[in-house]
């Protein structure tokens, strides 16, 4: 995910989800941190693997906090992008030999 100034209009932020999911961030009325996405691309083509039971594709929002950006799908938290995060900033996940299945 990359967020930059919109190349067509510097009054807006643009979000790129991968190479093809490109949209303009639009502030949600009544919020100063939550933005919806006005897609510049046909995002349905990029959700071809989306499970049919979950269709239609959810509304996607970004909620900006002090040190992270929350990705919301239909107002449900789907992912948290942490500012300046590296592998060293997260706790070590202990490896369990049985977690990989039988050998």
Q: Collapsing DSSP states into helix, strand and coil, what is residue 27?
A: strand
pTM score, two decimals?
0.68
Low-confidence ranges of the chain (pLDDT < 70): 43-57, 101-103
Which one, of 64, 8, 60, lies nearest residue 39 by Cα?
A: 60
Cα separations in angstroms, 97 against 3, 91, 92, 94: 39, 19, 15, 10
| pLDDT at res. 92 | 82
| pLDDT at res. 51 | 62
Specify the residue for token string 């039971």. Answer: 53
User: What DSSP state is assigned to residue 32?
Assistant: S
* Domain coordinates in residue numbering, the chain: 2-100
């Amino acid at each position: 995910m990359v967020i930059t100034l919109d190349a067509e209009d510097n009054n807006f932020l643009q979000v790129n989800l991968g190479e093809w999911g490109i949209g303009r961030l639009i502030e949600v009325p009544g919020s100063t941190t939550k933005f919806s996405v006005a897609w510049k691309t046909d995002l349905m083509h990029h959700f071809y693997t989306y499970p049919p039971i979950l269709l239609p594709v959810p509304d996607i929002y970004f909620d900006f906090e002090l040190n992270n950006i929350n990705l919301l799908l239909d107002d449900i938290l789907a992912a948290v992008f942490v500012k300046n995060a590296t592998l060293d900033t997260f706790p070590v996940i202990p490896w369990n030999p049985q977690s990989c299945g039988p050998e």
